[in-house]
Amino acid sequence: MREIRYLGDPVLRTAAEPVTEFDRDLRRLIDEMFATMYLANGVGLAGPQIGVPKRLFVYEITNRKGHVVNPELTIDDPDEVVEEEGCLSVPGRETGKPLYAPTPRAAGVTVRGFDQLGRPLAITARGMLARCFQHEFDHLEGRLYVDRLPRDTARQIMLQTP
Ligand code: ZN
């Protein structure tokens, strides 16, 4: 279990560095990321969100669970889909729970990367999983979902954060 970093922490606004060692420390880090995500009732968590500026994320959504190291994201279907989206790093001041807003994302993506042993993997996704992959990939580029909202909506969200 690791401490989750919140909006305003510079690590969330920094592009993460590639993972170079596929070792025991990496496997421990992935375990800790899953534990942290589950405890917070999240469906995805990226390295920077626990203060680790490395390019990896974990996810579990609609019975699909996994992790991706050094991901690359390809848009397969650029049709824009707008659905409610939130982030463990953007909690409400009152509730401590993620703040949600309708957020535009591409309908279909493929993520290519590596597993914890350095084996290549590729996952094609639509729907909520595709949204999750785009959200987590954004974290590795120092972006947050609020960056994709209309300015007024983003401001409303910011006003509710700690
Ligand atoms: Zn997030």
**CATH value at residue 90:** 3.90.45.10
Residue 47 lies in a domain: yes
What tokens were used for 148?
């994709």
Q: How far is the CA of 119 from the centre of ligand 1 (A)?
A: 25
4 within a domain of the structure (yes/no): no
Question: Structural domain tally of the chain?
Answer: 1
Q: Is 139 annotated as a binding residue?
A: yes
Cα–Cα–Cα angle for 33, 37, 40, rounded to 5 degrees: 140
**Stated pTM of the model:** 0.97
Instruction: Note the pLDDT tens digit of each residue in 126-160.
Output: 999 999 999 999 999 999 999 999 999 999 999 99
Q: 100 falls in which pLDDT band (50, 70, 90)?
A: very high
Range of the domain at 117: 10-159
How far lies 133's CA from each of 94, 126, 138, 151, 155, in Å? 28, 10, 8, 23, 24
Active-site positions read: 136
Beta strands per DSSP E along 9-133: 44-46, 56-61, 64-85, 101-114, 120-126
22 CA → ligand 1 middle, Å = 24
* Confidence band, pLDDT 50/70/90 cuts, at residue 37: very high
Mean pLDDT of the chain: 97
pLDDT of residue 62: 84
* pLDDT computed for residue 13 by the predictor: 97
Is 3 part of any domain? no
Q: How confident is the model at residue 119 (pLDDT cuts 50, 70, 90)?
A: very high
Tokens standing for residue 157: 């969200």
Which ranges of the chain does DSSP label H, i.e. alpha helix? Answer: 24-39, 127-140, 151-160
For the chain, percent of residues with pLDDT exceeding 90: 97
| C-alpha 32 to ligand 1 mean position (Å) | 16
Residue 1 lies inside a defined structural domain of this protein: no
Q: Has 67 been labeled as part of a binding site? A: no
